[in-house]
Structure 1
Amino acid sequence: MKSYLLLFTVILFSGVAGAQQLPARWDELVASDFSQALQKSSKTCILPIGILEKHGPHSPIGTDLIHVREWAARAVKAEYAVVFPDYFYGQINEARHQPGTFALPSKVIWELLEATCDEIARNGFDKIVILNGHGGNPEFIRFFMQSLLNKRHNYAVYFYQPQNDKEFTDQYLKMHQSDPQNDQHAGEGETSTLLYYRPDLMRMDRAASQSGANQHRLNLPNVYTPIWWYAAYPNHYAGEGAKASNQLGKFTTDHEIASFVSALKAIKADTVTLQLQKEYFDKVDSLNK
């Protein structure tokens, strides 16, 4: 009897310990654990930014959001950081003609991102890592970050920008079935990622029901116009999602998670960026004295 009671006690306490494991998601933490999360994360918070837009006729509107949510959730199992809740306020004006698109005015998304970073910092984080899942966001994010130098901040923002090595690229191209040059939005690559992360949300029987080919409706060499994307891809679909595979999705996500974990470790250990920011702002302030 004693042995059974001992076994039951071990199982009970091991279950409690598992249930009390420190969550990584901000919204799943209890307030009394927040200081522990700050310490464990080295005051590092991941801000995954997605978007709400059409992703072909087969992939969910929140594909980019789901992608970064799953990406961050898996990465922090290997390297702990606090993950900010779902954030889908980015630049997506080019998809306003499609149902389900959530596009706020430029001024609003700018001010909201700055206010969000300020509020994350007010809660004790001094490192904010932007993990972006939407191809239309990088220009906006980079300009936003450069503008942070307009005034002193007590936190640093890092924009993770993955670079694929030759070994990965060579293997990826071997597994890839469609034309890589046109595989941009809801095509084989992106569809494969979602097919691996959330197969329950995919409608693969519809993937070939619309064209994802470049329509080449505008030809202005060395000239940029904001209507360029619509001119090329009026269906807001670029590629061949029907050729996606779970195998390509797993290969891609395994690599992207490992790469982000490596960057996250470096960011958590970084002491130079904040030091240089302080030095920079001290010099800026000294000009007014």
Structure 2
Amino acid sequence: MKTYLLLFAVLLLSAYSFAQQIPARWDELVASDFPAALEKSSKTCILPIGILEKHGPHSPIGTDLIHVREWAAHAVKSEYAVVFPDYFYGQINEARHQPGTFALPSKVIWDLLEATCDEIARNGFDKIVILNGHGGNPEFIQFFMQSLLNKRHNYAVYFYNPHGADKEYTDQYRKMHKSAIEGDQHAGESETASMLYYRPDLMKMDRAASQSGENQHRLNLTNIYTPIWWYAAYPNHYAGEGAKATPEFGKFIAEHEIASFIQALKAIKADTSTIKLQNEFFDKVDALNK
């Protein structure tokens, strides 16, 4: 009996050790490990969405994609979820004048995102977490998600879209920040610093000051939106001063964003209400059509 119990304990320990070792990236899993990945992740899949566009004269075209890929990879070391492979099909029409931009038609990116979510769910996941790295995507993602209420789905989509931060982090952020905070946007100090932490080998910091990232103020329209606003302000597709970024600042930003996402991921994995409420909603929709 003791031998049996000892063997059982060894098997349990081995199974636990195996579960700890299975890859988080979907494309690195072998098919026979997929059931274990589903169980360990609580059927949760992260969909990191980036973009391919110019990031100043110094940061790689895939900065947004690399950022969310590394962000997710760091987070799942502490809170396991399966991470979908590189996805760079978002809204980036405003950068079509710059080399390296990959901008697909609106209908294509919409249909592709819906088909991707459907296919992720077909493989057993009922929670899909969108982790976005591109500033031009949130409006598209939010409208896409609201449109999911147009028909019943057997999965829930969550958009991690953090706003604000705790006072301690904000105060330290302001102390470490060297450029004008209000102008620090695309490929500016903060984004450059993050890349100096995640992938310093890809950065060309000697070129960071070779182009202007200042707002050119070429439109003066109050309370009026026009899609050319970004180009009017930043024709170089660069907003900020990337040259002032430091790896230390990047480490500070990255550690905070990773920790914050881990907390959100834990909450999503534990969530039992969203899908239940979705089903209740669609039951009422269906009742109206009877």
Question: Aligning the two structures, in what range does the TM-score lie when normalised by the shorter sequence?
Answer: over 0.9
- 1:212 corresponding residue in structure 2: 213
- 1:79 matched residue in structure 2: 79
Contact 2:19 2:40 (C-alpha < 8 Å) held by counterparts: no
Tell me by how many angstroms 1:165 deviates. 1.7
Query: After the TM superposition, which residues 79-228 of structure 1 pair with which residues of structure 2 at under 5 Å, given as runs?
Result: 79-163=79-163, 164-228=165-229
Residues 1:70 and 2:67 aligned together: no
Q: Which runs of 5+ in 2 are unaligned?
A: 1-13
Q: Does 1:40 align with 2:33?
A: no
Equivalenced residues, count: 274
The letter of the residue matching 1:175 is M
Distance 1:64 1:166 in 2: 26
Report the Cα distance in structure 2 between the residues aligned to 1:110 and 1:57, rounded to whole angstroms: 30
Note the C-alpha offset of 1:18: 8.0
CA drift at 1:167: 1.4
Q: Tell me the residue number matched to 1:61.
A: 61
State the TM-score, normalizing by the size of structure 1.
0.93
Cα distance in 1 for residues equivalent to 2:157 and 2:20 = 30
**Cα distance in 1, alignment partners of residues 113 and 168 from structure 2:** 36
* Offset of residue 166 of structure 1: 1.7
Name the TM-score, length of structure 2 as normaliser: 0.93
1:27 matched to 2:30: no
- Partner Cα distance (2:90, 2:121) in 1: 20
Query: Structure 1 vs Structure 2: percent identity of aligned residues?
Result: 84
AA at the equivalent of 2:190 = G
- Range moving further from structure 2, 20-29 or 215-224: 20-29
Moved more, 159-168 or 147-156: 159-168
Change (3 A) 1:19 1:149: closer
**Deviates most, 165-174 or 54-63:** 165-174
Moved over 2 A (4+): 17-20
Q: Identify the range of structure 1 (20-29 vs 112-121) with the bigger mean alpha-carbon deviation.
A: 20-29
Deviations for 1:96-140, whole angstroms, at most 9, x for unmatched residues? 000000000000000000000000000000000000000000000
> How far apart are the structure 1 equivalents of 2:170 and 2:62?
26
What SS does the corresponding residue of 1:111 show, helix, strand or coil?
helix
> Cα RMSD (Å) of the superposition?
1.3
Give the CA deviation at 1:20. 8.3
Q: Secondary structure at the match of 1:167?
A: helix
Secondary structure, aligned partner of 1:54: coil
- In 2, the alpha carbon distance for the partners of 1:272 and 1:229 equals 39
Given that 2:184 and 2:190 are in contact with CA atoms closer than 8 Å, whether structure 1 keeps it comes out as yes
Cα distance, 1:232 vs. partner? 0.1
